[in-house]
Amino acid sequence: MKRALTMAAGVAMLGTAVQADENTVDIGFVTTLTVGPAVIGRDMTDAVDLAVEHIGGKMAGKAVNVIYEDDGFKPEIGKQKTEKLVNSDNVDFVGGFIWSNVLLASYKSVVGKGPFLISSNAGPSQIAGKLCHEDFFSTSWQNDQTPMAMGEVLNQRGVKSLYIMAPNYAAGKNMVAGVERTYKGEIVGKDLTKWPGQLDFSAELAKARASGAEAVFIFYPGKAGVQFFTQYEQAGLKGVIPLYSVFAVDAISMPLLGDLAVGSLATQQWNPDLDNEANKKFVADYKAKFGRFPSFYAAQSYDTIMLIKSAVEAVNGDLSNKDGIRAAMKKADYASVRGKYTYGNNNFPIQNFYLRETYKNDAGEYTVKTVQTVFENHQDPYAAECPMK
């Protein structure tokens, strides 16, 4: 599945990618558009479309051309599609990337090759640390940070023992490392399950019950998260052993989980109720246009376009001015939906992280509310390994 979006006339068009030229700002966007996780990709592309609409389809007077590519939920396909964007479509920027393994496979096909690479979601530790590059930026977070915030929440709530579960791939390992960095209690058990195939967690849930843990921590994005919450209740653990999660309960999964999600606690760097003008407009217009709350995937994708716009306009549309574009993005001088943030030496955001709770609002919609700020201006732990200053 491939969509080329040209917004010069404010109209989305399906078809073949337009060859890059000096009169357009060409942005490649890699995400999952087929198979199960396509629901995440839809949220991301909808947010990009909305962002382009909000800026009138132009940056510094140049038409914006967005070329969507489908990674098929596979690193090798993501790499092929990324190479196409760089070598055939000659894009100026490459954004997107839900999955850390896809981003890691595609990374060297972009950085140092001309375009700038902006991760709209994945934040593997390798790229934040030794593999950092001046042509890479993130509009999300480094993987460890969100679970680090949850580890601090567990400390604050006096949880003395914890059972951990996550899928066995790059992001899952980072999530486990993150909660282990900050959690001060005893980890009584840990399972790294098969990814992406495993959706039956009965054996692991039995082990968690037998462990005597005071709480369970999980990272299961997408369909796996829905299955986990469902099986957690079926196993009789809901309300018996508190469940804390990251990236399992979001605007995509909440309608599927229904009341199973109500009361669940998670940490995140963005919430739909954050009180700033950019976020209010984004959430309201997204809901009006697509009939649902945006997810954090959407928020970060929206910010991707706004970050690019700030840089293109800082150099008056001179896309050959790589140093100027790089310096402008480093300033993060745009109205982010998360509020003001800065970039660290590794070009990952230094930002706030919040505890959020799922609830059902007066309109019968499942959404989240901010409970507290857990970290202020938090920097990821791998920045110290990045050789950039």
* Domain assignment of residue 27, yes or no: yes
Residue at 196 is within a domain: yes
What is the span of the domain harbouring residue 205?
A: 145-268+353-385
Q: Are residues 256 and 173 in the same domain?
A: yes
Same domain, 279 and 314: yes
We report the CATH number of the domain holding residue 57 as 3.40.50.2300
- pLDDT, position 22: 80
pLDDT band at 141 (very low <50, low <70, confident <90, very high): very high
- Summarised one tens digit per residue, pLDDT across range 33-76 is 998 899 999 999 999 999 999 999 999 999 999 999 999 999 99
Looking at the predicted structure, is the pLDDT value of residue 3 above 70? no
Q: For the chain, what is the mean pLDDT?
A: 94
Let me know if residue 101 belongs to a domain.
yes
348 lies in some domain: no
pLDDT digits (tens, 9 = 90+) for 272-330: 999 999 999 999 999 999 999 999 999 999 999 999 999 999 999 999 999 999 999 99
Predicted confidence at residue 290, as pLDDT, reads 97
Residue 122 and residue 237 in one domain: no
Domain assignment present for 114: yes
Residue-wise pLDDT for 340-368, tens only, equals 999 999 999 999 999 999 999 999 999 99
- How many CB atoms are located within 10 Å of the residue 132 CB? 21
Type of residue found at 126: Q
Over range 183-197, report the average pLDDT. Answer: 96
Same domain, 279 and 263: no
Q: Clarify whether residues 233 and 331 are in a common domain.
A: no
Beta bridge partners of 193: 167
What does the angle CA 115 – CA 117 – CA 118 come to, to the nearest 5 degrees?
Answer: 140
Residue 370 burial (CB count, 10 A): 16
Q: How many domains does the chain have?
A: 2
Same domain as 188, residue 316: no
Residue 175 lies in a domain: yes
| Helical (H) or strand (E) element with 358 | strand 349-360
Q: Choose the weakest-confidence range: 15-29, 138-152, 272-286.
A: 15-29
Q: Report if residue 219 sits inside a domain.
A: yes
Please report the pLDDT score of residue 6 as a whole number. Answer: 37
Give the C-alpha distances (Å, rounded to integers) separating 329 from 66, 216, 311, 314, 377. Answer: 19, 39, 5, 9, 18
Mean pLDDT (whole number) for 215-219: 98
Cβ atoms of residues 120 and 44 within 8 Å: yes
241 and 366 co-located in one domain: yes
3-state secondary structure of 76: helix
One domain for residues 368 and 243: yes
pLDDT for 15 equals 33
Provide the pLDDT confidence category of residue 13 given band limits of 50, 70 and 90.
very low
pLDDT tens figures, 69-119: 999 999 999 999 999 999 999 999 999 999 999 999 999 999 999 999 999
Report yes or no on 347 lying in a domain: no
pTM: 0.93
Q: Are residues 188 and 205 in the same domain?
A: yes
Instruction: Read off the pLDDT band of 16 (50, 70, 90).
Output: very low
pLDDT of residue 20: 52
Q: Same structural domain for residues 90 and 6?
A: yes
Q: What's the start-to-end Cα distance of the chain, in Å?
A: 40
52 and 64 Cβ atoms separated by less than 8 Å: yes
Whether 369 shows a pLDDT value over 60: the answer reads: yes
Q: Are residues 283 and 252 in the same domain?
A: no
Residue 368 and residue 320 share a domain: no
What's the pLDDT score for residue 21?
Answer: 66
